[in-house]
Structure 1
Amino acid sequence: MGVIATNSNKITLIYNGDNSIGKQTVGYVESASKDILTKDTSKTKITGTQWAEIADNLQLSICDLVDQNHPNFIKIYGDEKVDITADDCIKILQNSPETLAYAILINSNEFHLIKTPSDVEKYLEIKSNNSNQ
């Protein structure tokens, strides 16, 4: 059993509120037909174990979740490609949460990487007031 609670009736969105993509993604998720739990990493700490579980469920390296082009990352590590460990990436995500590259959507027990806000539509049943299709 993982440390991140999953629920078939609830959607969890992990994002950074300092990132425009994260903020916009919240709007899409709020249109879903399920209960929503949002975790803004700029306000809520995600543990190292939780980051490891997220990366594992996404079938990614933890370092794939770090935006190495983010100005705060470059300020610390420089703009050359750096070789960092998974432990380094966990510390980066915990201490500089604005470097989270993407939002993460957890729908039931499925984990999805959200690169653009509209990606949410692929994974959720969205409430619609009108249908033009």
Structure 2
Amino acid sequence: MFLIPSINSYFRKNTLTTSNKDMGVIAKSNRELKLYYHPDSRIAVQSIAIAEATKAQKVLINLIEVKVTETQWAELSRLLNKQPSELINTDHPFIKKTLSDHPKLDENQALKVLAKNPEVLMHPIAMRGEKVIEVKGINDLMALQENDSKDAKLP
């Protein structure tokens, strides 16, 4: 596959940093609602407010503070049934400035970009048990709240 030179130079220059906390293997629990988000995302702020309303234990993963590894990004993309490159906002200024207007990223390159520059994540990702969704709108989180319904008091 032929790549644009700026993409190749980006991958040669950038190495993983250890300044952020490394996360372990992604654990799944029906009692936990995990939200992977970048705080600059408007929908992320709204999603956090919705997550706070659930009875599930909240695990808020701020991608500035917590480093998600390439392996974890691969697992998240697999659980979403998407290619890693589909999780990247190609209109993000970082992508346009550093790579190109229309980058063609293979799986490994996309995982490196997500691990090193999580601000390019297209949408926050929410997980509860085995269910994983991209949060494109605040109502999307309702799909993960069904486990709370047994606790709801009916009139």
Q: Same fold (TM over 0.5)?
A: yes
Aligned partner of 1:119 in structure 2 is 140
Aligned: 1:83 with 2:81: no
Aligned: 1:98 with 2:110: no
Aligned partner of 2:53 in structure 1 is 31
Structure 2, unmatched stretches of 5+, are 1-24, 150-155
Aligned: 1:12 with 2:18: no
Larger radius of gyration: 2
Q: Aligned residues: percent identity?
A: 25
Q: CA deviation at 1:4?
A: 0.8
TM-score between the two structures when normalised by the length of structure 1: 0.86
Aligned-pair RMSD on alpha carbons?
Answer: 1.7
Q: Which amino acid aligns with 1:52?
A: A
**Structure of greater relative contact order (alpha carbons < 8 Å, 6+ residues apart):** 1
Q: CA deviation at 1:98?
A: 0.6
Q: CA deviation at 1:123?
A: 2.4
Map residues 37-52 of structure 1 onto 2, 5 A cutoff: 37-52=59-74
- Any idea what SS the aligned residue of 1:37 has? strand
Q: CA deviation at 1:117?
A: 2.2
Q: Is the contact between residue 14 and residue 39 of structure 1 (CA under 8 Å) also seen in structure 2?
A: yes
Structure 1, unmatched stretches of 5+, are 128-133
Q: Which has the higher helix share?
A: 2
Q: Which amino acid aligns with 2:49?
A: G
Kindly tell me the number of residue pairs found equivalent between the two proteins. Answer: 125
- Any idea what SS the aligned residue of 1:12 has? strand
Q: Which runs of 4+ in 1 moved over 2 A?
A: none
